[in-house]
Structures are given as C-alpha cells and as structure tokens.
C-alpha cells in the first residue's frame, strides 16, 4: 500500500464515481422525445456541465461571483440551454431534467470497488454537490458511504483549501490520514496542497468517446489506478480478505 497511515478515503463524485454525461444525455432524450430530434445531446450535456457547473464554481472560488447553491447554478444554465437549443419543455419537464444531477448512475466498477474499500477505510464523498443532492444520489445508486461530506458544509467549493481541510476536520483526522480519490488532476493537486493524500483514477469516457482525455498523473500522486477495483487491489491488503 502506498499510503499506510490513511484512515479515510473521500471521493470526488461527478465524473469519478458517477457517469454524469451518459445520464444527462439519456434523460434529456427521454424527456424531450420527438421534440429533441436534431439536438446534439452530447454538446448539450457538455455545455451544461461546463457552463452551469465548472465555470461558475471557478468564479465563486476565485472571488468574482457570490456563493450560490450548485443546483441553482445548474438550473439557471438549463433555462439558458433550452433556449439556445430551441427546445420547449413544460415546467414539470424542466424540473425533472434538472433533477438528473441527483439521479446519476455510477460507473460499472464503482459500487463493487467502494464496497471492497469500505472494509478497510471510512468512505464518503467530498463533492461540490449539495448535501441533499449527494444524499439522494447515494440512496438511489446504492453508494456505500459512511457519511456525506459536501462542500456546502463549509460555505465554499473545491478547489478552495477550506474544503479539503474541512473534510479532515469533520472526520477527526489529520489531513495526511485522508486520501482524496478523483479523476481530475486539479482537484488532486489542491488536495495535496492542503495536506491530503491523493489517489488518481482517470475516467477516459467522462466526456464521451471522442471527448477530452484525462491529464497524465503527477509523479507525486500516492496512487494511480485504472478503476475502483484496481484502487482496492492497491489499497486493501490481501490478508484483510478484501
């Protein structure tokens, strides 16, 4: 094991644990039906993730935008995207589509890998999703968390240092006893700067088969794994039966 003093693993969720892009595309097609014929739903999903989540959160952390609930950010962008792509939905349909972010499906290896890891570690998300969103997602998807750690609890978002330090504090652990597992090198670098250990699990299909590819790992990352099964192979000792 590369990090013998680690007691808890906290996970980035969107892209690392769950396949947000496929779920958004599938749900949008279901809701829109024939009205959505001709819309490039891959582009729609990528725009929603980028413009409704990544960009505004970066502005909030950078201090150029006031803190706003993540589901409000996503909802505001959804309204813009429906106009941009020429799609008319009812209020109920729009609300149902917005709820997709609470109902994302895990990657195929995620639940089984988490169950193995949970035998040896405390597990929880460390995500920019709201507490309610992460709780509903875990219940629906069967994610075996021991607790929910949302950056909402700290009034900030990753990659703000306070998010990583706050997670360790809530767990009652020193930062170097906590490992962040993520598919995004920026998240991991910020965690490392706050004293956490790092586990990189790139997800080549996060942005689709022809989408952007994961960055190469930093040599300083503690663990690099191809999926959660590989991560469990590296972090869980054979004599522990996991």
Both 128 and 201 in a single domain? yes
Query: Once rounded to an integer, what is the mean pLDDT over residues 155-159?
Result: 98
Whether residue 162 is predicted with pLDDT greater than 90 in this model: the reply is yes
Whether residue 144 is predicted with pLDDT greater than 70 in this model: the reply is yes
Both 121 and 194 in a single domain? yes
When pLDDT is cut at 50, 70 and 90, the band that residue 97 belongs to is very high
Domain boundary, last residue among 57, 73, 102: 102
CATH assignment of the domain containing 231: 3.40.50.1000
Both 148 and 211 in a single domain? yes
Residue 2, in any domain of the structure: no
Decide: 126 and 10 in contact? Cβ < 8 Å.
Answer: yes
Question: Nearest to residue 11, comparing CAs of 99, 122, 91?
Answer: 122
Question: Nearest to residue 76, comparing CAs of 58, 94, 97, 52?
Answer: 52
- Over pLDDT 90: what percentage of the chain? 95
Both 92 and 147 in a single domain? no
Both 121 and 223 in a single domain? yes
Kindly give the interhelix angle for 70-84 and 41-49, rounded to the nearest 10 degrees: 150
**Prediction pTM value:** 0.95
Question: Nearest to residue 181, comparing CAs of 237, 238, 234?
Answer: 234
Both 227 and 120 in a single domain? yes
Both 132 and 79 in a single domain? no
Domain boundary, last residue among 79, 102, 125: 102
Decide: 17 and 199 in contact? Cβ < 8 Å.
Answer: no
Domain boundary, last residue among 102, 137, 157: 102
Mean of the per-residue pLDDT values for the chain?
95
Question: Nearest to residue 181, comparing CAs of 137, 135, 136, 125?
Answer: 125
Residue 61, in any domain of the structure: yes
How far apart, in whole angstroms, are the C-alpha atoms of residue 114 and residue 116? Answer: 5
SS3 letters across 81-139: HHHHCCCCCCHHHHHHHHHHHHCCCECCCHHHHHHHHHCCCEEEEEECCCHHHHHHHHH
**Gyration radius of the chain over CA positions:** 18
Both 129 and 66 in a single domain? no
The domain total for the chain is 2
Residue 1, in any domain of the structure: no
Both 124 and 178 in a single domain? yes
Residue 63, in any domain of the structure: yes
Residue 51, in any domain of the structure: yes
E strand intervals along the chain: 8-11, 122-127, 149-150, 178-182, 197-200, 223-224
Both 147 and 216 in a single domain? yes
Residue 60, in any domain of the structure: yes
Both 223 and 123 in a single domain? yes
Longest CA span, the chain: 58
| pLDDT tens figures, 188-225 | 999 999 999 999 999 999 999 999 999 999 999 999 99
Decide: 95 and 78 in contact? Cβ < 8 Å.
Answer: no
Both 14 and 30 in a single domain? no
Residue 72, in any domain of the structure: yes
Q: Which domain holds residue 24?
A: 20-102
CATH assignment of the domain containing 67: 1.10.150.240
């Amino acid at each position: 094991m590369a990090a013998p003093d680690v007691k808890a693993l906290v996970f980035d969720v969107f892209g690392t644990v769950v396949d947000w892009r496929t779920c958004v595309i599938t749900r949008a097609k279901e809701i829109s039906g024939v009205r959505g014929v001709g819309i490039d739903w891959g582009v729609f999903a990528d725009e929603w993730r980028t413009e409704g989540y990544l960009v505004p959160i970066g502005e909030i952390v950078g201090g150029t935008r006031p803190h706003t609930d993540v589901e409000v950010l996503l909802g505001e962008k959804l309204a813009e995207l429906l106009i941009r792509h020429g799609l008319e939905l009812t209020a109920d349909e729009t609300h149902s589509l917005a709820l997709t972010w609470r109902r994302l499906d895990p990657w195929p290896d995620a639940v089984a890998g988490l169950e193995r890891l949970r035998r040896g570690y405390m597990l929880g998300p460390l995500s920019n999703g709201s507490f309610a969103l992460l709780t509903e997602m875990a219940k629906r998807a069967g994610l075996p968390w021991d607790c929910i750690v949302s950056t909402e609890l700290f009034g900030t978002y990753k990659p703000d240092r306070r998010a990583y330090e706050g997670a360790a504090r809530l767990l009652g652990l020193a930062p170097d006893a906590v490992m962040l597992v993520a598919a995004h090198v920026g998240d991991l670098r910020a965690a490392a700067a706050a004293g956490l250990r790092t586990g990189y699990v790139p997800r080549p299909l996060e942005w689709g088969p022809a989408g952007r590819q994961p960055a190469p790992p930093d040599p300083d990352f503690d663990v690099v794994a191809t999926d959660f099964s590989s991560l469990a192979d590296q972090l869980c000792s054979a004599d522990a039966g996991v």
